Structure formats: C-alpha cells, structure tokens
C-alpha cells in the first residue's frame, strides 16, 4: 500500500505525530504495538492536565483512538526492515506486507529490553549474550544459538541465523507474531520452545541456558530480542547513522540528516519523559506533512 507519512512506533511520540499528521489530511499510517511502549502498564502523575495518577495504558489507548478518528490507519505489528527506493521509503511489516511512503517518522524508542535473568550481564559484551543477531551473526558460524523472544524481530532473526549457526532455538513462553513468520522460521529448521529462560550459564563464555520447564539447553550464544527493532537499528538500514549513545540527532523541526526522515521521543535523547515525547511527536508529525506537501508541488 502507499501512504504519505508512515510513523514507526506506537508510544506517546508516535501517536502524537499520527494525530497531527492525520489532522492535516495526508494519508497517515501508524505502525507499532502499544504494549511495547515504555509508557504501557505504568502510572503517570507528572503530565500536564492530569491531577493525581493516570494509567499510561489508558493514555496510549485514548491517543490511538484520537489518531484513528482523524483518519490514521493503524497496524498492530512490528517493522522488520526499511529500505529506500528513489524518493520513496519501503517499510516491511512482520506479515510480509509492505508500505511505500514519502516520509518517515521514527518513534520506536531506543532502549533494548533486557531479559533480567542471572548470567545476562555477566556474559554480555562478547561473551555469548548479544542483543543484535544481524550485528553478531558471523561470530556464530556452525555454532548452536538461541533467540529469546516471541515477537517479529526474534522470529525473523531466528530464521536468519539458520544461514550461519548449526542449530537455532527460538525460546519464548508465548509467540505474538504472524503465523506465516513462525512457519517460515520452522521451515528453515528453527526449533521452537515454549518456555522462559531462567538463567544463562557458563564460565568464561556462555555454555547453556536453563528453562522454566526444567530443561537445560547447551549452546554457544544467546540473542535477546524482546519487542521490535529500535529506531537506531532501523535507521541504519536507510543510511541514517545514530550517535555514539544510539540517539538520533535532530534539529528544531525534528528533521534528521536523511531528507524526508524525522525522529521524536526517546530516540532523540534525554529527558526520557512523556511531555518531551508528545511535544516532539507534534513537531515531527507537522514537519513530515510539510515535507510531503512540498515534494508534491
């Protein structure tokens, strides 16, 4: 499908960008999972206009309904990849569909979700625990690895790792992605395990993982990929290179160094606050609309 503006990330920044873009009557598409937002499931008490405590989940869901009411199309999916074809950006979703857009707004946040189990921190930084399969795949040729996560990125990267590793496990208590993506991974030889990782074990390097069902799986590497790709990961696919701290540099109009690409929210740096995210979302949404109208003239 075609769109004027595609916004990646359904947190406060992305939803606000969608509201402002859709109100300007351009074809606006919002892609992301509200439940992946750092604001989901927490309480907010320092946001303008709210007395006392309000559910972050309720705010996100109300905002999403606002965006839809102005004509924004919403896809409850993660983005698998980005590419550029001439003046258009191509956004590939986890179900295999593709959206072509004139402008992009990056708003998925930047923090890699940690698993939070014993051994994770010990074996990070080159000792067998990684948060990016496409970055570290070459280190695991003909070795046994596990992808930990049940969403699109983990499933897609598990299938990808079958081209390098001798055996690939995909471990998660639940799988929240398209059946076709899971089917492709299993067809490629991925072994799916419905359990949680409770501990990562080793000496100088990772040797095994312990699972919630009592099993121990011997392996050489663990890729932890919970949720979708961060804006920093996706940005590099269209030659937008993050700063050393993984933030994306923007100007006052939320423009990045790539023409037609805008960024807002946590990906642009501190403070990591809802108020900043919403403010930048408004600016990014309006700037994307202005860009689209200019190139359409």
Return the minimum-mean-pLDDT range out of 89-98, 185-194, 230-239, 280-289: 230-239
- 2-112+229-296 and 129-224: identical CATH topology: yes
The pLDDT score that the predictor gives to residue 112 is 66
Instruction: Report how far apart the first and last C-alpha atoms of the chain are (Å, whole number).
Output: 22
Cα–Cα nearest to 238, from 46, 105, 71, 145 = 105
Q: Taken in order 259, 265, 267, 268, is the CA torsion positive or negative?
A: positive
Task: Work out the pLDDT band at 146, boundaries 50, 70, 90.
Answer: very high
* Average pLDDT estimate for 247-267: 96
* Average pLDDT estimate for 89-103: 95
In the chain, what percentage of residues exceed pLDDT 90? 74
Q: Is the pLDDT of residue 81 over 80?
A: yes
Q: Contact at 8 Å (CB) between 190 and 216?
A: no
Distance set, CA 161 to CA 106, 145, 170 (Å): 26, 8, 11
Sorted by where each begins, the domain ranges of the chain are 2-112+229-296, 129-224
Q: pTM for the complete prediction?
A: 0.78
The pLDDT score that the predictor gives to residue 233 is 78
Contact partners, residue 49, CB within 8 Å, separation at least 6: none
Distance between CA 102 and CA 40 in Å, rounded?
30
Cα–Cα nearest to 18, from 68, 80, 59 = 68
How many other CB atoms are there within 10 angstroms of residue 171's CB atom? 24
Q: What is the CATH number of domain 129-224?
A: 3.50.50.60
Q: Which DSSP letter does residue 143 get?
A: S
* Average pLDDT estimate for 250-273: 95
The pLDDT score that the predictor gives to residue 111 is 62
Q: What is the CATH number of domain 2-112+229-296?
A: 3.50.50.60
* Average pLDDT estimate for 70-98: 94
Cα–Cα nearest to 96, from 150, 135, 137, 152 = 152
Return the minimum-mean-pLDDT range out of 85-99, 175-189, 221-235: 221-235
Mean pLDDT, the chain, rounded, equals 93
Exposed / middle / buried, residue 164 (Cβ in 10 Å: 0-12, 13-18, 19+) = middle
Place of tokens 């927490």: 42
Q: Which residues pair with 43 in a beta bridge?
A: 55
Q: Is the pLDDT of residue 69 over 80?
A: yes
Q: Which residues pair with 84 in a beta bridge?
A: 89
* Average pLDDT estimate for 58-75: 97
Highest mean pLDDT among 83-87, 143-147, 236-240, 271-275: 143-147
* Average pLDDT estimate for 104-116: 84
The pLDDT score that the predictor gives to residue 99 is 98
* Average pLDDT estimate for 67-71: 98
Question: For 148-180, what is each residue's pLDDT tens digit?
Answer: 999 988 999 999 999 999 999 999 999 988 899
């Amino acid at each position: 499908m075609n769109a004027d503006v595609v916004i990646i990330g359904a947190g406060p920044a992305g939803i606000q960008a969608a509201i402002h873009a859709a109100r300007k009557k351009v074809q606006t598409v919002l892609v992301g999972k509200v439940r992946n937002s750092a604001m989901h499931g927490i309480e907010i008490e320092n946001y303008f206009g709210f007395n006392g405590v309000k559910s972050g989940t309720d705010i996100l869901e109300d905002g999403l309904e606002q965006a839809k009411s102005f004509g924004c199309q919403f896809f409850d999916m993660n983005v698998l990849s980005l590419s550029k074809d001439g003046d258009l950006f191509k956004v590939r979703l986890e179900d295999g569909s593709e959206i072509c857009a004139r402008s992009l707004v990056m708003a998925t946040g930047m923090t890699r979700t940690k698993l939070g189990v014993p051994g994770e921190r010990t074996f990070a930084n080159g000792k067998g625990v990684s948060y990016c399969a496409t970055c570290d795949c070459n280190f695991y040729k003909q070795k046994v690895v596990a992808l930990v996560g049940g969403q699109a990125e983990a499933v897609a990267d598990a299938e990808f790792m079958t081209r390098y590793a001798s055996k690939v496990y995909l471990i998660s208590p639940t799988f929240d992605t398209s059946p076709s993506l899971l089917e492709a991974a299993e067809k490629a030889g991925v072994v799916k395990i419905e359990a949680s990782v409770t501990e990562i074990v080793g000496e100088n390097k990772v040797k095994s993982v312990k699972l919630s069902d009592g099993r121990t799986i011997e392996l050489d590497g663990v890729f932890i990929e919970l949720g979708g790709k961060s804006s920093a990961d996706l940005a590099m696919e269209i030659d937008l290179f993050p700063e050393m701290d993984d933030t994306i540099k923007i100007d006052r109009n939320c423009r990045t160094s790539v023409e037609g690409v805008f960024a807002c929210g946590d990906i642009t740096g501190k403070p990591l606050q809802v108020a900043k995210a919403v403010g930048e979302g408004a600016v990014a949404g309006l700037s994307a609309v202005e860009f689209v109208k200019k190139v359409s003239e």
